[in-house]
Amino acid sequence: MIALRLALIGAGIMAFIVALRTGTEWVRWVGIGCLVGALIIRLVERLRGPRS
């Protein structure tokens, strides 16, 4: 799951950079969605607790 979170964070940052350079609104929202997805995955992992 760590690799998926890192990929989502990377995609979100890249989307923000593209949105800043091109000025497209929808790319910014894709970036926000990627970052929110990474945050949700982190919260779900924390709520599950440590695996024994």
Q: DSSP labels for 1-52?
A: -HHHHHHHHHHHHHHHHHHHHH--HHHHHHHHHHHHHHHHHHHHHHHH----
pLDDT of residue 50: 76
Quick: pLDDT tens for 1-52. Answer: 899 999 999 999 999 999 999 999 999 999 999 999 999 999 999 998 876 5
- Residues 6 and 16: their CA atoms lie apart, in Å, by 15
pLDDT of residue 52: 55
